[in-house]
Amino acid sequence: MTRSFRFAVSALLTYSLAGCSRNPNVEIVGSYFPGWMISLAAAVALTGVAHVLLRRKGLLHAVGHPALIYPSMVLLFTCLLWLCFFA
């Protein structure tokens, strides 16, 4: 094995194990929940708030098709909340 191949393999193993350093579970009333579930619930609520704000401002017709926009908003809010609070 060449030196660069061994370096690449060791770097790959190091990077793949780096995600195992922190437990992503959060204790709520004695039960452990993954952080992404909490972020998802908050993201659904934030998407509802965004919908109400868009409706009040009269911008619902400008945002596009709801079947694409609202799941994308939920995904965006979920990822942002998870990164802010659990990463």
Domain membership flag for residue 48: yes
What is the pLDDT, as a whole number, of residue 18? Answer: 66
Domain membership flag for residue 21: no
Which among 63, 37, 33 is positioned nearest to 51, based on CA atoms?
63
Domain membership flag for residue 20: no
| pLDDT for 14 beyond 80 | no
What is the pLDDT, as a whole number, of residue 34? Answer: 84
Domain membership flag for residue 42: yes
According to DSSP, the residues that pair with 31 across neighbouring strands are 28
Q: What is the pLDDT of residues 16-42, one digit of tens each?
A: 776 666 666 777 777 777 888 889 999
Domain membership flag for residue 5: no
What is the pLDDT, as a whole number, of residue 1? Answer: 66
Domain membership flag for residue 50: yes
> Where residue 44 falls among pLDDT bands split at 50, 70, 90?
very high
Number of domains composing the chain:
1
Is the CB of residue 34 less than 8 Å from the CB of residue 24? yes
Tokens of 77: 């809010």
Q: Could you count the other beta carbons within 10 Å of the beta carbon of residue 8? A: 11
Q: What's the pTM value of the predicted model, to 2 decimals?
A: 0.68
What is the pLDDT, as a whole number, of residue 30? Answer: 72
- Domain span at residue 68 reads 26-85
Q: How far apart are CA 35 and CA 15, in angstroms?
A: 21
What DSSP designation does 24 have?
Answer: -
Domain membership flag for residue 63: yes
